[in-house]
Amino acid sequence: MPLAARVRPRSLDEFLGQRHALRENSPLRKLLTDPESKYSVLLYGPPGSGKTTLANLIAKASDSKFVELSAVSATIKDVRDAISQARDLEGLYNKRTFLFVDEIHRFNKTQQDALLPAVENGWVSLIAATTENPSFAVVSPLLSRVIQIELSPHDDEDLVTILENALNSERGLGAKFKVEGGVLSQIARLAAGDARKALTLLEALADSASGEQLTLDGLTAVSERAFATYDRDGDSHYDIISAFIKSVRGSDADAAIYWLARMIEGGEDPRFIARRLMIIAAEDVGLADAEALSIAAATAQIVERIGMPEGRIPLAECTIYLALAPKSNAAYRAINEAIEMVREGGTHRVPLPLRSSNYAGAKKRGQGVGYLYPHDFSPPVISQQYSPDGLDLNLVRFGDQGEEARLAKIWNAVKTIIRRK
């Protein structure tokens, strides 16, 4: 068996981490310590945070039958068979079943719905595990019937302790190796909170060691780079792009470049990143530096043409430029307010002077009559109604950042002329 499986905690005393979820009187601790607890739970957390281990410990705590299904391979028939057997076991022997469904986010709606009667009627106590945000990955009726427990990545201190235990345990490496200083902390850093990855890396290092010494050089040879914790279709995809956008918006160029690197190393589509940069340029930089949008659009074209890994350079250049550019959401705010106004207030008729007069009979209907052609005047800005009757519009409001300050002066002067009564 792999090292991670051999040293899996067999009791709550051996389990490290998740202190927030295991606090006194918490639902998870009650499940682990009270054999009479029968509610269903959904364990939501990153890989290697202990979801499967906790599921096994919960089942052991109550001496119940433990049935495990992997949503990757299980069919709806497997789900129904497991539920049917659980009903028979309870009816004949008064023994309940814990049904552990790993990676439940991979079940489709029909498969998840098949669990509802069993959970609702208490035929099984469901323990579901997912690395995805349950709000997106699990159907609402099932969510309402389980207690959601969010698990966190292990901190480096806990990972080092887990590694030390594995080194010394008879189930692990049996104290056969001496470890050079810094090796375990480096493994913990590379594992990025994932206990399974940390143990896998330790096992690979032990297998490759020529003697009984585990060294940093040996660790470098085993792993040339850190494990990238990034799921292009999952939660980290949304969380990291959110962190990237907010860092650029907040003008923290260092943080923005870090999150960019996380996406690149995680295998994110560079075209997706480039599209987000164009949106940031329009939404967050906006009219404070109108050139930003052109730079972002050019970046997207360049990345499309040259591909990766070279595309990382223009992506980084554009990221830094946008992070340090003056910020304005005037255009974003203006169009959102205008759309809201249209939705709430319906449609207002176009004033007659502004209507099209390019067809026979239009003038007789008053369309276009009274319209003043601005280019006939110097300067070409005149007092004239452009808004619908009864609407006092104030949608475009500038700040004092960058180019926006100059535009604000122009707009204020133009409004004074156009709206002169």
Tell me whether the omega of the peptide bond preceding residue 141 falls within 30 degrees of 0, making it cis: no
pLDDT at residue number 325: 92
**Which residues are CB-contacts of 322 (< 8 A; sequence separation ≥ 6)?**
248, 256, 277, 280, 281, 284, 285, 292, 295, 296
Assigned superfamily of 18-150: P-loop containing nucleotide triphosphate hydrolases (3.40.50.300)
pLDDT at residue number 234: 54
**pTM to 2 decimals?**
0.61
For the chain, the 3-state helix, strand and coil shares in percent, each to the nearest 5, are 55, 5, 40
Q: Architecture of domain 156-222 in CATH?
A: Orthogonal Bundle (1.10)
In words, the CATH class of domain 235-324 is: mainly alpha
pLDDT at residue number 226: 47
Spell out the domain ranges in the chain. Answer: 18-150, 156-222, 235-324, 351-418
All residue ranges of the chain with pLDDT < 70 are: 224-236, 346-347, 421
pLDDT at residue number 63: 75
